[in-house]
């Protein structure tokens, strides 16, 4: 296929409720929506970079700059036989994985639409119900957190993840266990701890957690290896797994026992498929993380989650948890049995509603045309 046009739009959507992590508190999501056009068709992607460089060094503004100045010019007019070929066009551009992922994933959607096949089939799987987990931010009190957990369980979610940070760890976990029983529970630190906190993290062993996600610095596999050796609870790495080589290094060092796959963090579906295959070969479970995506990004996540290595519930929640209305119609919903259906039809199976996109758009530009 020959890329005829690429459109970038900065959107801002208010969240249904504020979301707080160890990085801080957000009440709206600012992101770049991507449309890649060829042969009269359009593929949609969403850049997961935040407005601020806290989760990643990339931001929505830096991603826009890199896409518009370096990545898109390499795509314009290029004959692409498969979305994986884009990484070759971008080989000179180091890093900027979120910017690359937004364009690459839109190209995968476009490719699947040209093939008139669901994206999951093009990725090498087939549609199946996806077990839904939910990520809950830091709350103003333990009681408020537990109330939120109980509400999410009532909505059918199969796994609960709560955000933790120093001073907000043992007490909320203990309260959830006391009031919610043996619900599948994990915690996510977003790199808020250091090696000196090993004792604090070891106290969580007695709560039978599924995993502790990214407790230490994003670029420190060695300290994670030492921490994992001292814990009974599995460590899951998120920010540290930037691609296939990072996954191999982490597993060789014993830095984790579980991997969180986020294509936006890794540079797109191509690297994510490689990480998935590495994990499957080595018997390591993976699950799909979330980045407060709109329905466009959420649909992408669902399709990738159909691959066989995704054996744990991911952070792929219903649209109404975050945005009312979402960009897409119909929205993504959780079924009573705690699963989400993968959208049917070609590509990701959903399209943004034009009026909703216009209402949320701060700025847009068209390239190549």
pLDDT along the chain (369 residues), means of 10: 95 92 89 96 97 94 97 92 95 97 98 97 96 94 96 91 96 97 96 96 97 97 98 98 98 98 97 98 97 95 97 90 92 91 95 96 91
The CA-based angle 356-56-347, given to 5 degrees, is 45
User: Which one of 2, 161, 163, 165 is the catalytic residue?
Assistant: 163
For residues 200 and 160, give the distance between their C-alpha atoms in angstroms, rounded to a whole number.
Answer: 21
35-56 burial: b if 16+ Cβ within 10 Å, else e: bbbbeebbbbbbbbbbeeeebb
Catalytic residue status for 262: yes
pLDDT at 20: 86
Residue 349: what are its φ and ψ, rounded to 5°?
85, 0
Query: What is residue 369's predicted lDDT score, i.e. its pLDDT?
Result: 60
Sign of CA dihedral 79, 305, 227, 265: positive
Cβ neighbours, 10 Å, residue 152: 21
User: What is the distance between the alpha carbons of residues 324 and 76, in angstroms, rounded to a whole number?
Assistant: 35
Nearest-5° Cα angle at 308, 306 to 316: 40
Please identify which residue in the block is written with the tokens 């943004």: 352
176: tokens are: 């959830």
d(CA 213, CA 233): 10
The pLDDT value given to residue 320: 87
Give the neighbor-by-neighbor strand order of the sheet with 5-21: 41-47, 24-38, 5-21, 361-367
**DSSP element (H, E) containing 17:** strand 5-21
Residues in the chain: 369
Which value, to the nearest 10 degrees, does the dihedral of the CA atoms of residues 227, 229, 234, 238 take?
Answer: 50
Q: Which of 110, 102, 155, 156 is nearest to 294 (CA)?
A: 102
Residues 20, 229: contact at Cβ < 8 Å? no
Cα distance between residue 49 and residue 303, in whole Å? 20
- Rg of the chain (C-alpha set): 20
Q: Which tokens is 264 given?
A: 């936006």
- Helix, strand and coil percent figures for the chain, each rounded to 5: 40, 25, 40
Per-residue model confidence (pLDDT) at position 98: 98
- What is the rounded distance in angstroms from the CA atom of residue 177 to the CA atom of residue 188? 16
Whether 163 sits among the annotated catalytic residues: the reply is: yes
Say if strands 24-38 and 41-47 run parallel, antiparallel, or are unpaired.
antiparallel
**pLDDT of 352:** 96
């Amino acid at each position: 296929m020959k890329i005829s046009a690429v459109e970038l739009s900065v959107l801002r959507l208010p969240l249904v409720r504020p979301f707080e992590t160890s990085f801080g508190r957000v009440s709206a999501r600012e992101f770049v929506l991507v449309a890649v056009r060829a042969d009269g068709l359009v593929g949609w992607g969403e850049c997961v970079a935040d407005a601020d460089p806290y989760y990643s060094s990339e931001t929505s503004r830096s991603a826009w700059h890199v896409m518009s100045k370096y990545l898109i010019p390499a795509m314009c007019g290029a004959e692409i036989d498969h979305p994986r070929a884009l990484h070759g066009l971008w080989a000179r551009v180091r890093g900027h994985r979120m910017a690359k992922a937004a364009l690459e994933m839109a190209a995968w959607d476009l490719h699947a639409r040209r093939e008139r096949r669901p994206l999951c089939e093009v990725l090498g799987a087939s549609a199946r119900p996806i077990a839904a987990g939910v990520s809950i931010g830091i709350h103003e009190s333990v009681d408020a957190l537990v109330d939120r957990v109980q509400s999410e369980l009532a909505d059918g979610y199969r796994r609960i993840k709560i955000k933790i940070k120093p001073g907000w760890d043992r007490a909320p976990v203990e309260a959830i266990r006391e009031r919610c029983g043996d619900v599948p529970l994990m915690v996510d630190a977003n790199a808020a701890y250091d090696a000196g906190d090993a004792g604090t993290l070891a106290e969580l062993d007695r709560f039978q957690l599924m995993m502790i996600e990214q407790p230490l610095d994003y670029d420190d596999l060695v300290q994670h290896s030492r921490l994992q050796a001292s814990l009974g609870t599995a460590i899951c790495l998120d920010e540290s797994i930037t691609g296939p080589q990072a996954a191999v290094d982490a597993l060789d060092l014993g830095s984790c026992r579980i991997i969180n796959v986020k294509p936006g963090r890794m540079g797109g579906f191509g690297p994510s498929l490689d990480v998935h295959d590495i994990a499957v070969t080595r018997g390591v479970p993976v699950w799909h993380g979330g980045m407060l995506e709109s329905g466009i990004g959420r649909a992408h996540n669902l399709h990738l989650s159909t691959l066989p290595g995704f054996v744990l519930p991911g952070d792929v929640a219903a649209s109404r948890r975050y945005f009312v209305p979402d960009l897409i119609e119909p929205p993504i919903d959780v079924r009573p049995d705690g699963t989400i259906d993968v959208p049917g039809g070609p590509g990701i199976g959903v399209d943004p509603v034009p009026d909703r996109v216009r209402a949320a758009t701060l700025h847009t530009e068209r390239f190549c045309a």
